[in-house]
Amino acid sequence: MANVAVIGAQWGDEGKGKIVDWLAERADVVVRFQGGHNAGHTLVVGDKVYKLSLLPSGIVRGTPSVIGNGVVLDPWALQAEVEKLRGQGVTITPETLMIADNCALILPFHRDLDSLREDASGAGKIGTTRRGIGPAYEDKVGRRAIRVCDLAHLDALDSQLDRLTAHHDALRAGFGEPPIDRAALIEELRAIAGFVLSFAKPVWRNLNEARARGRRILFAGAQGVLLVVDHGTSPFVTSSNTIAGTAAGGSGLGPSAVGFVLGIAKAYTTRVGSGPFPTELENETGERLGERGHEFGTVTGRKRRCGWFDSVLVRQSAAVGGITGIALTKIDVLDGFDEVKICTGYRLRGETLDYFPSHAADQAAVEPVYETMPGWHESTAGARSWADLPAQAIKYIRRIEELIRCPVALVSTSPEREDTILVRDPFAD
């Protein structure tokens, strides 16, 4: 049986939470391997709605869940999320949740810096969630980060704090802000340390033991390939690598452990915040997609921009992200359209492109080339087999497969957990 990595194949918000939750029933452990609490996953289970940011979706099913070393962890956000889910009846204990002890922390001054930069950027705003993700990753690669294991040694942090404050106090001064209050920071960390450390373990060791015993591991990514720091629409990207290869480095397992890579893509396209979006529909059709799809960010509540499915971008995501198969979500949102469109290429200054260029000016200038297909007026909502789908919906899905050069393995037909069509079992490959 293969292990499975789930990643977003668009700009995030593709419905990864539901798919991870659905697959978690078949997994022995679920691992979150990158990002922070800028991620948002909404699960609908009967009459209950669960909103997660840091915790892997498997936690709701009771599947042992791991926050890997590739994540940047806000300890106070973690505590709030755990308490909220416990209030909804979810059991979260050190037996069901493990946190890598070498995981880097997001601290209050990271949030401060994130907001100060955005406010000072004017028209150049990236559109971050202002939760300190980028500054925390900067400190991680700059070898200044305070990590989970440091919470057990708070009296020995002086040299680490010297490096942190030398960097951040200069930045804060440039924004007219006071220096970091080191004593107050230590007290805040002391107050939260016991909670975080109760879940801390050498996760790499536990996961390697699980793999050696033949346990099925489900790797859960955040955001999407089009937001990856290397291949995304820079500078409107996240601060981590969202591709499947990161599952290895962000969990402490080697690359051979990853197995089947399931890319999640909506049957149309959405984006939150700033940045290029070739198929964006700033008209009645875009509004209709947004209303029917309830397109508001789980984390920020911001309205998502909506447009037709872009096969060029998803094909590119499949290539750079190492995607084996696609889970196509929200097909039910397209019910009732007389016609549906798929972007099959771009025009750029008289030239036709079959890829998305790297430069921001070119990305902003491309014009989509559309293929139009008949829509369907029958309902796909709640379908759980191919036989339940209208013929035109099946033709739409098959055409997407052809254009992105990647098979569809799953189809999601509503937010409900069981409204899923299994075409190809990722764990069986």
Q: Choose the catalytic residue: 13, 139, 150, 310.
A: 13
Q: How far is Cα 16 from Cα 221, in angstroms, rounded to an integer?
A: 8
Q: How far is Cα 409 from Cα 423, in angstroms, rounded to an integer?
A: 5
Strand, helix or coil for residue 381 = coil
- Judge contact between 340 and 354, C-beta under 8 A: no
Question: And the tokens for 396?
Answer: 């739409």
Q: Choose the catalytic residue: 41, 110, 168, 231.
A: 41
DSSP state of 83: H
DSSP code string of 123-153: GG-----SSSHHHHHHHHHTT---BGGGGGG
Nearest residue to 237 (alpha-carbon basis) of 51, 343, 363: 363
- Judge contact between 244 and 258, C-beta under 8 A: yes
Nearest residue to 41 (alpha-carbon basis) of 247, 221, 290: 221
Nearest residue to 225 (alpha-carbon basis) of 121, 355, 322: 322
Mutual orientation of helices 182-197 and 108-120 as an angle, nearest 10°?
120
DSSP state of 225: G
Reply yes or no on whether 41 is catalytic: yes
- Judge contact between 73 and 193, C-beta under 8 A: no
Active site residues: 13, 41
